[in-house]
Amino acid sequence: MTVGSKVQGLLISLQSIDATLTSLALKTKEPKAREAFHQGALKTRTVIQEIKKRKGQIEFDEPTYQQT
């Protein structure tokens, strides 16, 4: 497994976490829980964006890690 494929797997996992947190935020009736899920989703999206940037750097620096 290449570094690129590991990073891609990480992104997929993070996107799944984001979707779960968003879903929970929409379904819960408790305002504090809803806000906590929402904030968790926002933080997860920030991490996703950072990982996407890092993946781009890895692919630029090491062309052998590019996904085909």
What is the band of 59 on the pLDDT scale with cuts at 50, 70, 90? confident
Residue with the two structure tokens 């494929």: 5
What is the band of 65 on the pLDDT scale with cuts at 50, 70, 90? low
As a residue count, the chain comes to: 68
Residue pLDDT, tens place only, 17-34: 999 999 999 999 999 999
Residue pLDDT, tens place only, 29-52: 999 999 999 999 999 999 999 999
Residue-wise over 10-37: b if at least 16 C-beta within 10 A, else e?
eeeebeeebeebbebbeeeeeeeeeeeb
pTM of the predicted model, to two decimals?
A: 0.83
